[in-house]
Amino acid sequence: MKTTFFASILFLFLTACGSTKTITNRDDIKLISAKKIIKQHNKNQFNGNTLSSNLKVRFEGTEKSQSLSVSLRIQKDEKIWMSFSVFGFTVAKALITPEEVQFYNKMNKTYFIGDFAITKEILGAELNFSMLQNLLLGDAIVPLKSKEYTANIEDKAHLLSLKKENGLLDMRYWMHPFHYKVEKQEIKHLEKQESISIAYRNYKAYNNSEIPGSMELVLKGTNKNASIALAYKSIKVGTEISFPFSIPSDYKRTFLNE
């Protein structure tokens, strides 16, 4: 009886250890349920209070291309601040909260205060605060519900695909098999023939938060195709940061479609 009891405890212990084994080689990836993938992703989402980074940005559009530097600061769920510069000179600043977008352009002395419709003018897709924050941090753009997705393995990553019941959208997420952050996320509007695809590379841990080293966003649509490549530098997580933003009094307010 005593031997059987301890043998049973040992068996349960070994079984439990095996079920939570962390893989270290992507070739060893195993198919798991959408529920488990989403649970791990939610667990490993950005958990710091603040993030700051310098970005090198390259924009490629149908009519123009441009390179610039961006200083990025995020107060989680509260503020996203960006300062844009070219050749070391600040040309614009933006302050984004869950309620509104503020932006001013030093080149033509104009400013904008309004809702998130402006993100469609800039990116080709309308994003709210949470979506933009997640996009920058390598998290799923929209909250994931396990009952809405199927799971597979593709390119040595966990692939979540939206079930076919939704006839307008096709949404897919490729999750890294080690830390379950997004390697690629893709949303297609089938009726409008528009899509947004974001790929992430070179994740690195900062204060227990995995942050991408680079990101490439590709937009495709009937009237607008564009790509934006970002390289993250000098990343800091959890430090005290400020959000200096003041629109000069002599700037003229601008509106969408002007």
Render pLDDT for 204-257 as a digit per residue (tens, 0 to 9): 999 989 999 999 999 887 677 889 999 999 999 999 999 999 999 999 998 765
Domain ranges of the chain: 30-237
Q: Is 18 left (phi over 0), alpha (psi -120 to 50) or beta?
A: alpha
Element containing residue 4 per DSSP (H, E): helix 2-19
Q: Using alpha carbons, select from 179, 182, 142, 176 the residue that is nearest to residue 162.
A: 142
Higher-pLDDT residue of 52 and 123 is 52
CA distance 225 to 216: 14
Domain 30-237: CATH class, spelled out: mainly beta
Give this prediction's pTM: 0.83
The predicted-structure confidence for 31-53, as pLDDT tens digits, reads as follows: 999 999 999 999 999 989 999 99
